[in-house]
Amino acid sequence: MSTSLLYHGFGIHGYHYEKTEYIDGKMIVHIEQPRKELRCAACGSRNVVLRGRSERLFRHVPIGGKEVWIQFAVPRVGCADCGQVRRVKVEFADPRRRYTRAFARYVLELSRYMTIQHVAEHLRTSWGTIKEIQKMHLERHYARPRLKHLRKLAIDEIATRKGHVYMTIVLDLESGAVVFAGDGKGANALLPFWRRLRASHARIQAVAIDMSSAYIKAVETHLPQADLVFDRFHIVKLLNEKLSQLRRELYREARDKLQKDVLKGTRWLLLKHPENLDDSRNERARLQEALRLNEPLAKAYYLKDELRQLWQQPGIAAARTFLTRWYLRAMASGIRAIQQFARTLLATSSGIVNWYRHSISTSPLEGVNNKIKTMKRQAYGFRDQEFFKLKMYALHESKYALVG
């Protein structure tokens, strides 16, 4: 091997090739640094005196299935200019690391297609080394996401593991990047994010959230100029919960066995859109029979179906008028569960109709949540919470697929 091959093949320049050894199936390449290339690690001066050497081994990119190691006697020099006595900088490796930068790049390339464990097994190194390389890369590029460019956000919590352990996620709806991940859920989890956002002087136009009073208060306090947009999914989810509550109440109050039998199997039918009912399974007929026998249930179901038109209006003024009229019909129904929902809807009407100003929702967070679930399955969970957050910050540039 020549010094030219050391540069072009191994990416190591400024050093001379000495020899190659083959020990226990490993290829060990010995190199040295010319005396004229020595510099003080503190001030960069060339006015140095050699004060000994210390042997070090660095893991390099493998050749075929053979491990490659770089053996380098690192010079220790005394500087005549600053008076420091230090080892010279190793140009091809980061400080306090036993592998070259080329090896780290190779690990990151493999990590796009393989799990940490599989990369470690392929390279015959430790799981911790591969994780360390990934974590250093993520800290360098994603540890502090830029906030100045943010305009539209989505905020919601996700479950990170069993036992009601949650994390609050803030998503940039324009880039799809997670810009903050706070431990726990509720307003307190967002406090570090508000401090960073205030320092960034970002001009937030709109924030998509669910109808949680804690999130509403937090956004109104810290972003008074931003429009609140309540997510359609959470509105329909709340109405479905009220429908299920009504069905249970009617079942408990029913004295006729026929009514009980009809109500017993209608829960999922009530939650489905009419066009999704499966005629081959007689779902439409069963639902119609349940509505015929239970007037309150019929009123609630048709009010739910009518509410879908709220997001089909020509503009914000028409949506506001439609919402007011729907509220009056819901209050006139005499159904307590629907009346409770209607009051909630009226109290949050401005955030609901703001969808016509900013067509945003928290639904992209569901896609992020699915990626996180896949990521956790590939790693069998994450004990290092900081590493877990860094992986989330890089999700918008990652592709995860379960293979094998």
pLDDT at residue 190 in the model: 93
CA distance 118 to 130: 10
The top-scoring range by mean pLDDT among 112-116, 150-154, 369-373 is 150-154
Domain locations along the chain? 1-92, 152-231+361-397, 232-356
Nearest one of 102, 19, 112 to 61, comparing CA atoms: 102
Is the pLDDT score of 194 beyond 60? yes
For the chain, percent of residues with pLDDT exceeding 70:
85
* β 26-32/152-161 pair status: unpaired
Rounded to the nearest angstrom, the gap between the alpha carbon of residue 231 and the centroid of all alpha carbons in its chain is: 19
79 SS3 class:
strand
pLDDT at residue 335 in the model: 82
CATH class of 152-231+361-397: alpha beta
116 in the Ramachandran plot: left (φ > 0), alpha (ψ -120 to 50) or beta? alpha
Rounded to two decimals, the pTM is 0.75
Task: For residue 4, give the amino acid letter.
Answer: S
pLDDT at residue 116 in the model: 87
**Over residues 365-394, mean pLDDT:** 80
